[in-house]
Chain A
């Protein structure tokens, strides 16, 4: 039996020696202090804890650490150093797509995951791509607009 779980976290090789049954969400926040990852519901309903695992958006509240062995995980802290983040950041700011901000780390990573698959999504595809991420402030229209702007402005980055 393996004594530790090895994975790449925001570009760094990481050895985790705690329980494989612990939630990725709790480990990211409590052990690695990556507090962009928010705990909203702990049942996969809100998307506030979204991270990118092996290139796919997942809810970190629904992932046990044992699932992370050998994987690559990116949180907003890792993603914010990229050029793509700068484009998304500017687009969200341009249309005031952020109010309280609690859902935004998840929204930004959902935007990244969507644009990676579909660099020029339709409005319907944007709404589908963000459908697991709840926002109780904005009413979504501004966020959808921000994703459209990011897709246009970031043309070629995704």
Chain B
């Protein structure tokens, strides 16, 4: 049995990962579309350390092998992440597909990855040599280009414990279920006593990676909703200039128009 390893502990998995050329296997829902029988898989479904969802002082930690169904069942996972995950495919896929798999597949269409971006999530990567904590936006270096060593595994997704409560999320797909995102959009805003403390906007499925523009988001920080409203037009125009989208299953022009409409709707809904 040369083309498959089924470890029962994280240590065993990391030792195998560094000693052999293996493909980490989460739920298989992306890998098995190709289903190359020559591939050597490292099956990660029975590693307890990668199945846990728990909080520490700083983060909500979601084990990489948690299935989408398990994420939906957890009382700890924020509503925004659940809303995106609930729109992935259909129940049978959500019962198998995993959080680390959604990330490791490298697609900018991955529904949970959009939320990881807007939430400033970090990834806890482990190898036999040690640990790295990498912000999600740095992990994606380009189309299917990941900052993941051949000896590393995505062990946990680290989400902030607070700050995602006031959100806006839309997935545009071709149908209600089993839909790959054509465009996905998530916005988060934190307002304290009428002043915008934090704003984040992420666009999925429209370029090589999920897109965010932190320098633009800062324009509204420290401003009242009324002040932000005054600057809304230039804010939106700057986004229109910065959004360089690629053609996919739908045209770049369509993607751009929908992205701008969703940005406008997000601002409307949040009172800007």
B179 to chain A, nearest CB (A): 10
Is there an interface contact between B4 and A63, defined as CB atoms closer than 8 Å? Answer: no
Is there an interface contact between B32 and A45, defined as CB atoms closer than 8 Å? Answer: no
Interface of B is mostly: loop
A44 to B92, CA, bound (A): 8
A57 within 8 A of B: yes
A112 to chain B, nearest CB (A): 12
How many chain A residues touch B (Cβ–Cβ < 8 Å)? Answer: 38
A56 to B73, CA, bound (A): 13
Interface string of B1-15 (1 = CB under 8 A from A): 111111000000000
Is there an interface contact between A67 and B45, defined as CB atoms closer than 8 Å? Answer: yes
A123 to chain B, nearest CB (A): 14
Interface string of A120-136 (1 = CB under 8 A from B): 00000000110111000
Is there an interface contact between A132 and B32, defined as CB atoms closer than 8 Å? Answer: no
Report A128-151 residues with CB < 8 Å from chain B CB: 128-129, 131-133
A34 to B253, CA, bound (A): 48
Interface string of B80-121 (1 = CB under 8 A from A): 000000000111110110000000000000000000000000
A96 within 8 A of B: no
Is there an interface contact between A47 and B92, defined as CB atoms closer than 8 Å? Answer: yes
A13 within 8 A of B: no
Residues in A whose Cβ lies below 8 Å from that of B36: 21
B178 within 8 A of A: yes
Indicate the member of B28, B91, B176 with the most A CB atoms within 10 Å: B91
A5 to B43, CA, bound (A): 12
A2 within 8 A of B: yes
Is there an interface contact between B25 and A67, defined as CB atoms closer than 8 Å? Answer: yes
B31 to chain A, nearest CB (A): 8
Q: Could you jot down 9 A-B contacts, CB within 8 Å?
A: A20-B4, A47-B92, A57-B92, A62-B27, A66-B41, A67-B28, A110-B92, A129-B91, A132-B178
Q: What are the 10 A-B residue pairs with the smallest beta carbon separation, nearest first?
A: A132-B90, A20-B4, A131-B177, A66-B4, A56-B95, A66-B43, A62-B32, A57-B92, A131-B90, A43-B33
